[in-house]
Amino acid sequence: MTVMYEEALQRYEPVFGLETHVELGTRTKMFCGCAAVFGGEPNAQVCPVCLGLPGSLPVVNRVAIEYTIRIGLALNCSIASWCRFARKNYFYPDMPKNFQISQYDEPLCTEGYLDVLVGGKTVRVGIERVHLEEDTGKSLHVGSATGRIHGAEYSLVDYNRAGIPLVEIVTKPVPGTGYLAPEVAKAYVTELRDVLRTLGVSDVRMEEGSLRCDVNTSLSARGSGAWGTRTETKNVNSLRSVERAVRSEIERQAAVLDAGERVIQETRHFHEESGVTTSGRSKEEAQDYRYFPEPDLVPVAPPREWVEQIRASLPELPSARRARLIESWSVSELDYEALRNAGALDVVEQTVASGAAPADARKWWLGELARRANDSGVEVSALPITPVQVARVAELVASGALNDRLARQVIEGVLDGEGSPDEVVKARGLAVVSDEAALLAAIDEAIAASPDVAARIRDGKTAAAGVLVGAVMKATRGKADASRVRELIMDRLG
Ligand code: ZN
Ligand code: MN
């Protein structure tokens, strides 16, 4: 039983929060020298440390610490001058030590924020903490229809992933977004992914599990001021699913509350096919994990000079780039979002860098090229045409050598592998007819063919000129500059 989304929002105020786990792209694992690459033969990238064998000792991966500090700085966090790892104790077959080395009350980064753009408005999402831990192995349940453990005949475990450095990024609860809550949640993960990609610390592939989200959602009665009980939807692994998971929890919890029942604090699973969540296990409290400082590791105390060096080496972040491009392209925040959602920011920026006017670059990439990318089911950036080539097409149009119609044919030729724009123009004979004698001959023919139309224009009914322009464009197979043709016709007919 669920309540319609709009109806639920009239009575309840949603609050959401996100915990995101990111596998770092270090060469080796968090506490040993095993390779940290995806997709090897099962259990081929393991050693006594990441298998948790007795007597083995962990050593911290310095690059993982550096990457985590990069992430913390990019998210406007304070970086601890001293912190420790902690043991998080629980039993699961994919975790051979029966504890995970994580951080508890002393995380490396705290108190930051990330600004996200939704519908042209900026929403600030508070960051509670960024800490470092190790990933677990992977269980493979064989013989069940769903791939889950229920109904499985047996299970296999692959420890290649065990010990890969994992950063956990936890937001503060985000209240006050109302109807937009699912969209803001999605925009946050999108922006976070862009930040992580820009930092070069992870390949952030949600489908391969290197970026995974847990989505917390709660509802409170409007105006009550008290926050409701939250549920945690685990391992939501696409941007669209983040949005759908928040939305479906709002609908489900509203129905529970409407019936006078309590929302149970629990973990839930999101189902891609149906778009709904189902109950998992009731949620552990922190004390259930019996955290204590990891006795096998020394504390981490990053020197301030090192942190400042890392800060100085950060690349331009997505928010700074957004501000810069909105200013230099004179576009609105909504236009910018459209470009970003179309995956066209990089190509438009490169096209402008190759000499095209920003408005022209946007027009071609969001218009003709987005349409063709959509037709062939690829990203615009994957089309077989380069920003330099698009800039050349725009230049040919700006100089009057091509009109828009011919330019579209040039683009078609480039996409079909006929060569550069200039080669396509030459091979297909696509230049605008600028030879005035040829145009005048075509105009005289058109006038002779429609003497009545010519007479009306002479009488001052200039709107009729469209008929003659059309005839000339047809005669030149679209290769004339229509506005020049109109001028010549008006001259001809006084
Ligand atoms: Zn290892
Ligand atoms: Mn975690």
- Kind of pairing, strands 266-270 and 231-236? parallel
Q: What's the gap in Å between 22 CA and the centre of ligand 2?
A: 10
The percent of residues in the chain predicted with pLDDT above 90, rounded, is: 66
Q: What's the gap in Å between 135 CA and the centre of ligand 2?
A: 8
* pLDDT, tens digit, 9 for 90 and up, residues 268-304: 988 888 888 888 876 667 778 999 999 999 999 999 9
Q: Give, as one character, the DSSP assignment of residue 378.
A: S
Q: Which ligand is nearest to the CA of 131?
A: 2
CA distance 239 to 183: 10
Which positions ≥6 away from 204 have C-beta within 8 Å? 22, 193, 196, 197, 210, 211
Q: What's the gap in Å between 317 CA and the centre of ligand 2?
A: 25
Tell me, what's the pLDDT at 226? 84
Tell me, what's the pLDDT at 308? 98
Q: All domains of the chain, ordered by start, with CATH?
A: 5-310 (no CATH), 342-428 (no CATH), 436-492 (1.10.10)
CA distance 85 to 103: 5
Q: What's the gap in Å between 35 CA and the centre of ligand 1?
A: 8
pLDDT over 80 at 162, yes or no: yes
* pLDDT, tens digit, 9 for 90 and up, residues 35-86: 998 878 999 999 999 999 999 999 999 999 999 999 999 999 999 999 999 9
Q: Give, as one character, the DSSP assignment of residue 232.
A: E
Q: What's the gap in Å between 28 CA and the centre of ligand 1?
A: 9
pLDDT over 80 at 345, yes or no: yes
Share of the chain residues as helix, strand and coil, in percent rounded to the nearest 5: 40, 20, 40
Among 12-16, 251-255, 336-340, 430-434, the range scoring the smallest mean pLDDT is 430-434
In DSSP terms, 15 is beta-bridged to: 218
Q: Which ligand is nearest to the CA of 58?
A: 1
Over range 405-415, report the average pLDDT.
93
Q: Say if CB 407 and CB 397 are below 8 A apart.
A: yes
Residue 376 — very low, low, confident or very high, per pLDDT cuts 50/70/90?
A: confident
Vertex 196: Cα angle to 194 and 200 (nearest 5) = 115
State pTM to two decimals. Answer: 0.82
Q: What's the gap in Å between 23 CA and the centre of ligand 2?
A: 11
Tell me, what's the pLDDT at 400? 84
Q: What's the gap in Å between 319 CA and the centre of ligand 2?
A: 27
pLDDT over 90 at 482, yes or no: no
pLDDT over 70 at 1, yes or no: no
Among 211-225, 371-385, 438-452, the range scoring the smallest mean pLDDT is 438-452
Tell me, what's the pLDDT at 50? 96
CA distance 169 to 176: 21
pLDDT over 90 at 366, yes or no: yes
CA dihedral 406, 407, 409, 411 (to 10 degrees): 170
Query: Locate tokens 């698009």: which residue?
Result: 390
CA distance 324 to 191: 16
Vertex 137: Cα angle to 132 and 138 (nearest 5) = 125
Residues composing the chain: 494
pLDDT over 80 at 486, yes or no: yes
Q: What's the gap in Å between 203 CA and the centre of ligand 1?
A: 21
Q: Which ligand is nearest to the CA of 130?
A: 2
More confident residue, 119 or 233: 233
Tell me, what's the pLDDT at 284? 67
CA distance 259 to 261: 5
Q: What's the gap in Å between 290 CA and the centre of ligand 2?
A: 15
Candidates 314, 276, 260, 323; CA nearest to 122 is: 323
CA distance 393 to 145: 53
Q: What's the gap in Å between 212 CA and the centre of ligand 2?
A: 10
Q: Give, as one character, the DSSP assignment of residue 150.
A: T
Q: What's the gap in Å between 110 CA and the centre of ligand 1?
A: 29
Tell me, what's the pLDDT at 283? 64
CA distance 381 to 490: 44
CA distance 10 to 223: 11
More confident residue, 1 or 319: 319
HSE of 128, CA atoms in CB hemisphere, 13 A: 14
Tell me, what's the pLDDT at 351? 97
Over range 2-31, report the average pLDDT.
94
Q: What's the gap in Å between 100 CA and the centre of ligand 2?
A: 9
HSE of 244, CA atoms in CB hemisphere, 13 A: 15
Q: Give, as one character, the DSSP assignment of residue 43.
A: T
pLDDT over 70 at 93, yes or no: yes
Q: For all residues of the chain together, what is the average pLDDT?
A: 92
Fill in the amino acid letter for 52.
Answer: G
Tell me, what's the pLDDT at 119? 83
Q: Which ligand is nearest to the CA of 46?
A: 1
Over range 404-426, report the average pLDDT.
93
What would the two tokens of residue 169 be?
């990024």
Tell me, what's the pLDDT at 493? 84
Candidates 236, 297, 208; CA nearest to 25 is: 208
Q: What's the gap in Å between 88 CA and the centre of ligand 2?
A: 10
Which positions ≥6 away from 136 have C-beta within 8 Å? 92, 94, 95, 100, 161, 162
Q: Write a three-state SS string for 268-308.
A: EEECCCCCCEEEEEECCCHHHHCCEECCCCCCECCCHHHHH
Q: What's the gap in Å between 365 CA and the centre of ligand 2?
A: 40
Q: What's the gap in Å between 235 CA and the centre of ligand 2?
A: 11
| Greatest mean pLDDT among 122-131, 397-406, 478-487 | 122-131
pLDDT over 80 at 3, yes or no: no
Over range 377-388, report the average pLDDT.
93
Could you please report the per-residue DSSP string of 53-94? Answer: -TT------HHHHHHHHHHHHHTTPEEPSSB--EEEE---TT
Q: What's the gap in Å between 150 CA and the centre of ligand 2?
A: 24
